[in-house]
Chain A
Amino acid sequence: MSELAIDTATAACAVALRVNGQTFCHAPAPGRMLERPAHAKELLPAIEGLCSESRTDLAELSAIAVGIGPGAFTGLRIGVSTARAIATANGLGLVPVSSLETLVAGGGTERTVIAMIDARRNEIFYRVGEGPDSLATPAETLSLARDAVARGPVLAVGDGALKIREQLLEVGADVPPSDDDRHVVSGSVMLDIAASRTTLAPEGVTPNYIRAPDAKVSSRESWLVESGAK
């Protein structure tokens, strides 16, 4: 039994490999979330590193889980594309797991956990406990946090929570310091979630983008728009 989990929704490249119950993790320091993502360079070496550490053949996996976001689009696609290729070469399916759900689960069960992933452009992907994955402005997520605090203790995690940490503390939510592991998606927690989930055909697993693509045309056609010909 060897199960692989990959998540690239944030700048932190999370990978875990569980071999006969023993879990090997590539867990970047929480500070990495605030840096530029480098999944193209980091993901495959991390996977291969865990394989050699655990003496597992990448071609002999028994299950693969992949984080489908929401998060930064290009990073998500690197993770999903990589997971699909490994699954296809193994003749396996894939288990999609919400990156926000993994963050919530990593926050424990004593408090209401709000997971937040920075969506840039002054927006935040968030999930309150077992609620749906959503997108809102920082002001909206703050008011959600305030409502949750009125009902009981609240823990906010994720790079989105770090972005508005001071305001979250002001409304009474607990936000661990930026070097706390709970801010990073955990591959090990993902594997726990994936264990009870349905496996899908690899091509059926796509990122949960939430946000529609920008209709910004690449340089090819920008001239027409500028010239007023369009």
Chain B
Amino acid sequence: MSADMRTILAIETSCDDTCAAVVTEDGVVHSNLIASQMDHDRFGGVVPEVASRRHLELLDGVVGAALADADVSLAEVDAVAATRGPGLIGALLVGFSYAKALASTAGLPLVPVDHLQGHVSANFLHPSVFDPPFVCLVASGGHTFLARVEQRHGYEILGATTDDAAGEAFDKGARLLGLGYPGGAALDQLASTGDANAIDFPRTYVGDLDFSFSGIKTSLLYKLKALPDGDFESAKADLAASYQSAVVEMLVKRIEQAVQRTGIDRVAIGGGVAANSLLRRRVTELGVEVKVPPRSLCTDNAAMIGSAAFAISPLQPGQYSELDAYPSGSPIAV
């Protein structure tokens, strides 16, 4: 690692993944550790108190491993970055308190990072750096929004979900189809064996460029309830394929409209939903330049937080001691 290059240790604990990473300002990811918490499966969702407890158990090990994997010591780090919000407040505070105290003790600057900015900034990392301007869709189990990105810090929200996140729509659909939680990947797989035109699902378009997924999930629930006994197994794949196709179509339609509206024909996709094979395929069919970071940079991770940190002026020791985390809102979105 070059000595004249700024190096950041980043920490992310906004939901149920305990993450730490080391990145340099050239966008190279030297380590990117993600400890996924599996404890939530049996509850069918993220339990905030369980997530916070696990973060505390895992964090030291994950931070230590991120430094070791990158072959750097804390003394060689130039700044500590951490997610300040939005997210589960108890979970955020584990990582944010740790980052503040670690930076203060080591005499390092701290860069508080907005989680959503992190998803946008994942595009500035190797192996394929994608520079603004671009239209960015971030769709995960926790958030779904469309942004216009003109520089490396800040973005303009063009549209956002008014109810569920797209990832929730997939996870809930998967759960209704008996595929467990989180079932996005299983739904994707089952859908590939079904007919996407077999069953009609409603497409909902709200606001200007906003999203709504509550109607489609209710529709799936009613279709399942109306299904005659014994027909479930044979209808499952078609339901999955048709449901997935409808959700993806709603996302792609909004991307297409955002491209038209902004005149920016470059599109980046992030968040866990970016792993969906149909979404990836349909977006490439739009005839615009498309960037989808590798999966490890799409789902929640700390490398993206480190990437965002390079475009934010760091707070010096003494300036960040009183900083609190925030559960909702995004103070840096313009």
Contacts and interface: CB of A to CB of B under 8 A. Distances in A.
Contact of A44 (B47, B60, B100): B100
A202 B99 CA distance: 15
Contacts of A209: 53
B132 interface: no
B94 interface: yes
Given A40-B97, A74-B93, A59 B172 contact: no
B243 interface: no
B251 to A, nearest CB: 18
B176 interface: yes
Contact of A224 (B101, B105, B175, B324): B175
Given A74-B52, A230-B175, A217 B47 contact: yes
A81 B218 CA distance: 41
Contacts of A41: 322-324
Main secondary structure of the interface of B (DSSP, over half): helix
Nearest to A222: B45
Interface of B: 43-50, 52-53, 56-57, 59-61, 63-64, 74, 88-90, 93-102, 104-107, 141-142, 164-165, 168, 171-172, 175-176, 181, 214, 217-218, 221, 224, 318, 321-325
Contacts, number: 149
Smallest CB-CB A-B distances: 9 pairs: A221-B45, A217-B45, A85-B101, A89-B105, A213-B49, A203-B60, A85-B102, A82-B101, A44-B321
Contacts of A24: none
Contacts of A157: none
B176 A229 contact: yes
Contact of B181 (A43, A45, A215, A221): A221
B79 to A, nearest CB: 14
Interface in A48-87: 48, 58-59, 73-74, 77-78, 80-86
Given A77-B94, A220-B168, 18 more contacts: A40-B324, A40-B325, A41-B322, A44-B322, A59-B107, A74-B52, A77-B56, A78-B97, A80-B56, A81-B97, A86-B101, A203-B60, A214-B47, A217-B43, A220-B45, A221-B46, A223-B164, A227-B218
A109 interface: no
